[in-house]
Amino acid sequence: MNFKFLFFLSITVFSYFNILSQDRTLGVLNIDSDQVYDGYTLLTSHETTDTYLINNCGEQVHKWTSDYYYGNTVELLPNGNLLRATRLNSEYFINGGAGGRIEVLDDESNILWEYDYISPTYRQHHDVVYLPNGNFLFVAWDRKDSAEAVAYGRNPDLVPDNGQIWSEKLVEVRPIGSDSAEIVWEWYLWDHLVQEFDPNKPNYGAISENIDRVDLNYIPNRIINSWIHINSIDYNEELDQILVGSRFFSELWVIDHSTTTEEAATAEGGLSGKGGRLLYRYGNPQVYSANGDRILYGQHNAQWINSNDVTNNILVFNNGYEKEPSVSAIEFINFPVNGYNYDISNNQFDYSTPYLSYESTSIEGFNFSSFISGVQLLPNGNILICSGPSGSLVEISPEAEVLWHYLSPISNNGILEQGASSETINNSSRRIFRAKKYDKDFVESSISLNGSLEPIELNSSEYVCPNVLSNDSKNINFLVYPNPANNYLYVELDKEYNASVLIYDISGRLMLESELFSSEKLLSIDISSLDKGLYNLIIKAEGKFLNTSIIKK
């Protein structure tokens, strides 16, 4: 007996996609289309000048192209424009995270605004954050020569061979025109030092009694120029405070942004009343000669998160740099905020261990990452993890179930091919500083999704992904009959548009492919060459993926 069915997109796609993914080595390796957050992921690589926006199927829906490699930060602004730090050449600052220019690109990669912050004595690096007032706040190296460093109390034996100490500063700029800016606020680490080495030099005092200042002679592991190495910056509008992370101190610092630039150089002023001193520090108490366990190890991407109390919840990618055994972790931390200050007991900042932690040893695709990397708490409670060195992105549920796994094909050898061997993949550099996922409605209302709608990786013509769009995008009706079928199968759509119809066997092999053009609503498919059995039929139309099972009798 023949049957005629009216199919609507069903949710029985996860097991099917797992079948198709068995031979995949790049791009989307795993997806749970019911639980994955419905959004678009922004990513780029140290190996390209391009920035990509992909959907949950790993398909490129938009791409921005620049003349420069990126300087780590890429973000979407509230209007959909792309904020991007870029790497300029410099003979004075050569180190990981180097930038020098900040640019804003429109939909078509036109530069709307660019600003260079680079000279023999300073250079923007690592991170930039957009502020609610429309300004940009960024981190910059502040170069000091050996004479100046020793004059401030640096032990001469702790000055690098090239005679340079790179301190840090924070700079806020207001964009002007298309290529300039006004500096409206600055904070210099050099104004907040302490040293126990030489009582005849400035900043002399006991480290343990000056916990809101930074030890000029603390050497974490080796004598290097980038001695502090701030690698992340975030802003809390409610507190008007800044959160930065020092990789080599393995600490997070909170700084008062409500000060004037003049107050930021002192220990007075601002909502906290403490000027530019460190309001709070977390992660490695030994750095300021305090007791307590070390929590952080070369961390990245520290950020305030929206939870029950936005003022005191922190999320960070804890790299595990120099930790034994080697393990990275996602840490949720509670800071003891008290008004505009933080609790201190016995001349030590109060702190607690993370209240929630996910370790790389227990989650597939979350790889140990000694450097770069990032994390994002998504609106539905899922967590997006970027294992930067391996180019692996994983979205997990709060229960640590892997819902989406994407392996970047962007490498120093160009875009890799689907099916590339593990040896080829592992021998290529595919570093991602961090990635961020954006809400579907925000993206679709602010960016033209005019990308290729194909995966980034090469030779992916047989790639099929289940429909992972939101429910309001799933209403393509189609008829498939008869089912079971003998020699011919008919596909009828509810309106005219271009579509591809693909039939796969249960092992994921593409058996038949037909095109339905905009002038047609009915397609006849000859399936007489197929063996008897169960097959999956996929209809790909207007960026949507519809699938069902058919039986060849």
Instruction: Tell me 542's DSSP state.
Output: T
Which amino acid type is present at position 102?
I
Between CA 540 and CA 10 the distance in angstroms is 15
| Unique residue bearing structure tokens 């120093």 | 412
Which amino acid type is present at position 117?
Y
Pairing type for strands 164-176 and 180-188 reads antiparallel
Count of the separate structural domains present in the chain:
2
Q: What is the CATH number of the domain that holds 101?
A: 2.120.10.30
Question: Do 169 and 290 reside in the same domain of the chain?
Answer: yes
Between CA 213 and CA 280 the distance in angstroms is 10
Between CA 58 and CA 28 the distance in angstroms is 6
Question: Do 423 and 531 reside in the same domain of the chain?
Answer: no
Structural domain contains residue 452? no
Question: Do 43 and 83 reside in the same domain of the chain?
Answer: yes
Structural domain contains residue 19? no
Q: In what order do the strands lie in the sheet with 60-65?
A: 60-65, 50-54, 39-44, 436-439
Cross-strand partners of 185: 172
Question: Do 171 and 257 reside in the same domain of the chain?
Answer: yes
Tens of pLDDT along the chain (553 residues) come to 333 333 333 323 333 344 344 578 999 999 988 899 999 999 999 989 999 999 999 999 999 999 999 999 999 999 899 999 999 999 999 999 999 999 999 988 999 999 999 999 999 999 999 999 999 999 999 999 999 999 999 999 999 999 999 999 999 999 999 999 999 999 999 999 999 999 999 999 999 999 999 999 999 889 999 999 999 999 999 999 999 999 999 999 999 999 999 999 999 999 999 999 999 999 999 999 999 999 999 999 999 997 555 567 999 999 999 999 999 999 999 999 999 999 999 999 999 999 999 999 999 999 999 999 999 999 999 999 999 999 999 999 999 999 999 999 999 999 999 999 999 999 999 999 999 999 999 998 889 888 888 899 998 866 666 544 333 343 456 678 888 889 988 878 766 667 778 786 543 467 888 776 655 667 788 899 998 876 767 776 665 555 566 788 8
Question: Do 114 and 209 reside in the same domain of the chain?
Answer: yes
> In sequence order, what are the residues at sequence separation of 6 or more whose Cβ sits closer than 8 angstroms to the Cβ of residue 37?
378, 379, 380, 382, 384, 395, 437
Question: Do 489 and 362 reside in the same domain of the chain?
Answer: no
Question: Do 237 and 373 reside in the same domain of the chain?
Answer: yes
Domain of 281? 27-398+417-446
DSSP 384-434: EEEEGGGTEEEEE-TT--EEEEEE--EETTEEPBTT--HHHHHTS----S-
Q: Which tens digit of pLDDT belongs to each residue from 432-469?
A: 999 999 999 999 888 988 888 889 999 886 666 654 43
* Assigned token pair, 323: 């930790």
Q: Percentage of the chain with pLDDT > 90?
A: 73
Structural domain contains residue 442? yes
Question: Do 160 and 230 reside in the same domain of the chain?
Answer: yes
DSSP 463-521: ------S-GGG----EEEESSSBSSEEEEEESS---EEEEEEETTS-EEEEEEE-TT-S
Which amino acid type is present at position 237?
E
